[in-house]
Structure 1
Amino acid sequence: MKIKSQRDFWSGLMFVIVGVVFALGSTNYSFGSSAQPGPAYFPFWLGVLLAVLGGMVLFKALSIESEGGDPIGKIAWKPLLILVGAIVFFGLALPRLGLLLTLPVLVTLSALAGQEFRWKDALLNSVVLTAGSWLIFVWGLKLVIPVWPVMFGG
């Protein structure tokens, strides 16, 4: 069997692996039912869906010819490291700095990974995403997420 698109093959394989790992990992939790889903319900079905979509991409990579084999280019290390660093910062800083400071920093740092970075766009996205996240997670779902920095009564 010949790989006809390297890019689709490796991304499909990654989706299948991640989906299967999430589906299997969720089996350690209570599944519940459709009427009253438990903590395993959403990650299990999301993992299954991701694995199925990955399988479809894999099938396409093995069956549909692409121009030049669609090779994988070189890894864009700078954006990758910026995004991973922004996510690590968010995870470490959220309990101390709160959502209203940490999320705008995450969005702005993530925007720096792009080639078309503009301060105005990054700040507007930061405000909209922070307000939306507060509305959905803190106000709507009543999740216990620190909103303010610890020094202001977090």
Structure 2
Amino acid sequence: MTSIVRHPKNFWIGIIFMFFGLAAVYLGWELEMGTAGRMGPAYFPVALGWMLALVGLIGVVRSFIGHGDSVGTFHIKDIVIILSAVLLFGFLMRGAGLIVAAFVLIMLSSWASKKFQLLPTLLIAIGLTAFAAILFVKVLGLPMPLVGPWLSGS
């Protein structure tokens, strides 16, 4: 059976972008928009939602014009590993601190790759964790603990 969709990847990513963009617009609709000079709480998420929906619409339109590859296999194991890493980051951030949470996030999400190698990943995780700690806590002054109460004894 012939499909009018010539590029399934563009089509489905466009649908996903439109879904999340319009969801952001819908969720922010009841909040105060404000103006460009005095932005309300809805201004930024609604504006980004409309932009994301527009990018999605462009992707859907392009899927009918150009030719492309079909959608490949769905790697559920990799998705579960990366989602678990993000959820674990959120859980560890409060109790163990930024250093442990970032290190675990990088190591666990890297494990989802077929090219995973322990030593290079350890070096990257150490470097990115140090960069995140310096940037977010020292430079930007964000109130996140480098070491949380689970490890500091307080």
TM over 0.5: yes
Tell me, yes or no, if the aligned pair for 2:92 and 2:100 is still in contact at 8 Å.
no
Structure 1 partner of 2:29? 27
Separation (CA, whole Å) in 1 of partners of 2:131 and 2:39:
25
Preserved CA contact (<8 Å) 2:25 2:45: yes
User: Partners of 2:103 and 2:38 in 1: how far apart?
Assistant: 35
Deviations 1:70-105, CA, capped at 9 Å, x for gaps:
321221111111101111111112111110111110
What one-letter code is carried by the residue in structure 1 that aligns with 2:79?
Answer: L
Q: Which residue of structure 1 lines up, in the alignment, with residue 64 of structure 2?
A: 62
* CA deviation after TM superposition for structure 1 residue 130, in Å: 2.1
Mapping for residues 53-92 of structure 1, pairs under 5 Å:
53-66=55-68, 70-92=69-91
Unaligned runs of 5+ in 2: none
1:105 maps to 2:107 = no
| Secondary structure of the structure 2 residue equivalent to 1:110 | helix
Letter in 2 for 1:6: P
Identify which of 2, 5, 11 aligns with 1:3: 5
Instruction: Give 1:16 shift.
Output: 0.8
Superposition deviation, residue 141 in structure 1: 3.4
Q: Report percent identity of matched pairs.
A: 28
Q: Which amino acid aligns with 1:3?
A: V
What SS does structure 2 have at the residue aligned with 1:117?
A: coil
Which residue is 2:117 aligned to? 118
1:12 is displaced (CA, Å) by 0.8
Aligned mates of 1:29, 1:133 — CA distance in 2: 32
Residue of structure 2 in register with 1:12 after alignment: 14
Could you say what the CA RMSD is over the residues aligned between the two structures, in angstroms? 2.3
User: How many residues are aligned here?
Assistant: 151
Which residue matches 1:139? 138
Task: With the length of structure 2 as denominator, give the TM-score of the two structures.
Answer: 0.83
